A and B are shown apart, each in its own frame.
Chain A
Amino acid sequence: MKMDIDRIAALARIKLKAEEKEKLAADLGNILSYVEKLSSLDTENVPPTSHVLAIENVFRKDVQTPQRIIEEVLAKAPEREGDFFKVPKVVEGS
């Protein structure tokens, strides 16, 4: 199975060296051909399974349960500015 390793890397936001690309292409190829076996089955009249547990309709009531953990979380954030998380500049528009 052919795939575009560069595209997958770009979508996952990771940078790969040439030798890593080669190795990953081989690994992913193996995984895909393993999974490919499934396509030999006739699934014509079988509805897709999204979940394997026979449970449905699990809800919670609309009740507020404030946690107030933000100080703890911000303390562990790579960067903060006051009570905000700070991230590299995201520019929209041109």
Chain B
Amino acid sequence: MSAEYESVIGLEVHVQLKTKSKLFCGCPAEFGAEPNSNTCPVCLGLPGSLPVLNEQAFLYGIQIALALNCRVAGRLKFDRKNYFYPDLPKAYQISQYDQPLSSGGHLLVEMKEGQKKIGITRAHMEEDAGKLLHEGRAGSVVDYNRAGVPLMEIVSEPDIRTPDEAYAYLTALKAVLQYVGVSDCDMEKGSLRCDANVSIRPKGETRLGTKVEIKNLNSFSAVKRALQYEIARQIDAAEKGETIFQETRLWNDERALTLTMRSKEEAHDYRYFPEPDLVPFTVSSDWVEDLREDLPELPAARKERFVKDYGLSEYDASVLIQDKDLGNFFEECVTAGAPPKRASNLIQSELLGMLYERGETFHAMKTTAAGIAGLIRLVENGTISGRSAKDVLADMLETAKPAEDIVREKGLTQVSDETVIAEAAKKVIAANPKPVEDYKNGKEKSFAFLVGQVMRETKGKANPALANKVLKELLG
């Protein structure tokens, strides 16, 4: 980014609550049903039908609010947001306007430069709209299965300054939502969606520039790329002296650019008014405290515990807690007897990378926490070298066999017999006169090379500490 400008970003996230039924009617809220099969007079907006609030969705909403450090309103109501669009059967969406479920929260985000606090303006409940399909058709068609599905809309303060911060905020938000356990947060299924508001201003300026809303962001990395593009576009326009219009732009991932969707000149007038078909709601502080107590351990607390109880670095802890199940897996390894730091290292520097290459997730991998602990035990007691551990792990992911079996079958047991290592070392010395001479002339790097050759000679089985010792002795 140009040094003279800074960007100001706010994110709106919609998260689908994993209730069995919709927000205001008993239609199944599940994804993937036959078109329009999960509909009824309420969610189709037929005359005479009346909405009734899903209690579970309401409780989930409060838990999300609490997990995001929001104040839960003592009294709240629902409002109608009026607009015409074919995905909206009633021509209004039941949402919340001036008395939202919660407001004034924040989320702590891990950046390389340290922690940053991003404010959360509000988190409110609303119903989802239906789904419009256009492709390959003369007209558009609508599936109302999604209409009325419960959502929480989480609006951040314009505290985000870079696309990387936006990415980190989304990652942290997703982790919190996963930990609370009220949504599956699957962007592909649309259960987590994000719109971004972005403007630029000269550094030092405190007023906000004209904001542009970006939609059609289908992944966290798309959010980052779209913001990078849009910030560059706005700076370019500003430098050419062009006006930046307040508008909604759509991100086109294939072409990697944003395109005008609709101008906000004829500002949308949603004519909000209180939803007369739903009664108001009050939430006592006792009720809030009960729900707060029911909250599971959240990512920030877990990270702190990992640092304190397991002696992990802040960074390692933050990687492990980002995914609830990954954190659980790590703890299962520790319970199965693995020293925490070794388990953390193996998971982060070997396992995750291997799984990524294999295109697998650790949910579906062939080894278990006990299996990983077993592998670590073999390294700990000197049976195999750290280098062999990698190969054994790769085999475990392929065959689902325990580490012990793989080590036995492949004869990977570490060689701690000095005479065997000395034999290999002599060969290496004889074959590498130049590095040997370099080492004798004080070049330390050559020694590392020679140790590597000894390891290679023994097919990675030599005990590295012994290989070091023997080589040193032989080279005098």
The answer to whether A and B come from one shared complex is yes
Q: Mark A65-83, 1 if CB is under 8 A from B, else 0.
A: 1111110011000010111
Q: Which residues of A contact B276 (CB under 8 A)?
A: 51
Q: Which of A10, A56, A64, A74 contacts B28 (CB 8 A)?
A: A64
Do most interface residues of chain A lie in helix, strand or loop, or is the interface mixed? Answer: loop
Query: Would A70 and B36 count as touching, CB distance under 8 A?
Result: yes
Does B21 count as interface, using CB distance less than 8 angstroms?
yes
Q: Which of B58, B143, B266 contacts A84 (CB 8 A)?
A: B143
The distance in angstroms between the C-alpha atoms of A40 and B343, with both chains bound, is 73
Segment of A22-30, A31-39, A86-94 engaged in the interface with chain B:
A86-94
Do most interface residues of chain B lie in helix, strand or loop, or is the interface mixed? Answer: loop
Task: Tell me whether A65 and B26 are in contact in the complex, defined as CB-CB below 8 angstroms, given that A56-B279, A56-B280, A90-B132 are known contacts.
Answer: yes
Q: B residues bordering A, Cβ < 8 Å?
A: 19-21, 25-28, 34-41, 44, 46, 52-58, 77, 82, 84-86, 132-134, 137-144, 250, 252, 259-261, 266, 269, 271, 274, 276, 278-282
Query: Would B282 and A56 count as touching, CB distance under 8 A?
Result: yes
Q: Which residues of A contact B38 (CB under 8 A)?
A: 66
Query: Would A59 and B141 count as touching, CB distance under 8 A?
Result: no
Query: Would B279 and A55 count as touching, CB distance under 8 A?
Result: yes
> Nearest Cβ in chain A — how far from B417, in angstroms?
66
Task: Tell me whether A51 and B26 are in contact in the complex, defined as CB-CB below 8 angstroms, given that A84-B35, A94-B259 are known contacts.
Answer: no
The distance in angstroms between the C-alpha atoms of A1 and B139, with both chains bound, is 42
Q: Which residues of A contact B137 (CB under 8 A)?
A: 81, 89
Query: Would A68 and B37 count as touching, CB distance under 8 A?
Result: yes
Q: Which of B44, B52, B271 contacts A73 (CB 8 A)?
A: B44
Task: Tell me whether A84 and B19 are in contact in the complex, defined as CB-CB below 8 angstroms, given that A55-B279, A60-B26 are known contacts.
Answer: no
The distance in angstroms between the C-alpha atoms of A46 and B232, with both chains bound, is 49
Question: Nearest CB to that of B143 among chain A residues?
Answer: A84
The distance in angstroms between the C-alpha atoms of A7 and B280, with both chains bound, is 31
Query: Would A11 and B269 count as touching, CB distance under 8 A?
Result: yes
Query: Would A88 and B140 count as touching, CB distance under 8 A?
Result: yes
